[in-house]
Amino acid sequence: MRKKLNEEVGEVAAPAGDRKIGLRAALWVLFICLLWGGNGVAIKVGLQGIPPLALAGLRFGLGFICIATWALWARIPLQIRSGEFYPLTLIGLLFTLQISLLNLGIERTLVIYSTIIFSLYPFFIALLAHYLIPGDQLAVRGVLGLLVAFGGVIVLFLGKLGAISQKVWIGNLLTLLSSMCLGTQFVYTKKIIRKINPIKLLFWQMVYSVPAFFLLSLLAEKGAHSYVLTPKVLWALLYQGIVVAGFCFIARNLLLKYYPASKLSAFFFTSPLFGIMLSVLILREPITPELLVGGGLIGVGIYLINSR
């Protein structure tokens, strides 16, 4: 099974590098995006019984078990080697900040809003890559895409004057900051993943972040006595921890190791589409005119960025 998964994402085919995405890899990415699209819904359901930071700690505690088990089974060395401490620490801090902002944001806004705003991370990938990665500068079309996507954000944040409450506005802002953090993580991960095994990278992200989530929860949230662990909340937690933080994170980082980040980000744009569909079907959230206009502008902008 391990060999089969590696073959599917390209580990056996050719030396590590920026490869063309074939049909099997494309289907894997779309399947991962479908699963990832349900993450916002699962977080919103989980927040009905568990505070945001504690939920992140529990989720990635489960994810840590999955990733550690995979690493042991695949015999991946996990010890920190010379020159790895700084990048592993930095990626762990970025990850902790990104997930904290995301959970706090989703607590305050609708999943359908957070899904669209969070989908802006390719915008930040392109912007950062333009300045930080040689040979990855934006052309005129890419700059136009940035402007169009930014216009979509303005529409989402302003909406109808007075129609968006302060709580939802703050939730949208926190989600936007989380998207910025993910874009930064994406670019930095692409930079270091050629030297550090992707599973090892995930392992140490969670070694740093899980204790941090629980410490922050202890300082800022009510204790475990306040948790309301209904079957629905538990299923949502298991989905976030095992399916997303375990399987999806492993698969995504393996794909990042072998395929161009810019090409993968074009596929990852399907994830918010799945997220919107699931939030409407499961949570019965409304689709408003500003969501259609803002989401459409963001979609066009990201398409222009990725087609440069």
Say yes or no to pLDDT of 6 above 60. no
Question: For 14-44, what is each residue's pLDDT tens digit?
Answer: 434 466 777 888 888 889 989 988 999 999 9
Res 12: pLDDT: 36
Res 15: pLDDT: 39
Q: Which of 157 and 229 is assigned the larger pLDDT?
A: 229
Res 308: pLDDT: 55
Share of the chain above pLDDT 70, in %: 85
Residue 216 tokens, joined? 């922050």
CA distances from 183 to 57, 109, 123, 294 (A): 22, 21, 8, 20
Question: For 116-149, what is each residue's pLDDT tens digit?
Answer: 888 888 778 878 877 777 666 667 777 787 788 7
Residue 217 tokens, joined? 């929860």
Say yes or no to pLDDT of 166 above 50. yes
Average pLDDT, the chain: 82
Least confident of 86-100, 143-157, 158-172, 235-249: 158-172
> Band of the pLDDT at 261, cuts 50, 70, 90?
low
**Alpha helix positions (H), the chain:** 2-9, 23-37, 39-46, 52-74, 85-108, 111-118, 121-132, 140-158, 166-192, 198-220, 231-238, 249-258, 261-268, 270-283, 289-306
Res 276: pLDDT: 83
Say yes or no to pLDDT of 242 above 90. yes
Res 236: pLDDT: 96
Q: Which of 167 and 97 is assigned the larger pLDDT?
A: 97
Res 22: pLDDT: 76
Q: Distance between CA atoms of 274 and 35, rounded to whole angstroms?
A: 8
Least confident of 159-173, 185-199, 206-220: 159-173
Mean pLDDT of 43-62: 94
Other CB atoms within 10 A of residue 36 CB: 21
145-155 burial code (b ≥16 CB/10 A, e <16): bbebbebbbeb
47-67 burial code (b ≥16 CB/10 A, e <16): bebbbbbbbbbbbbbbbbebb
Contacts of 276 (CB under 8 A, 6+ apart): 112, 115, 116, 287, 295
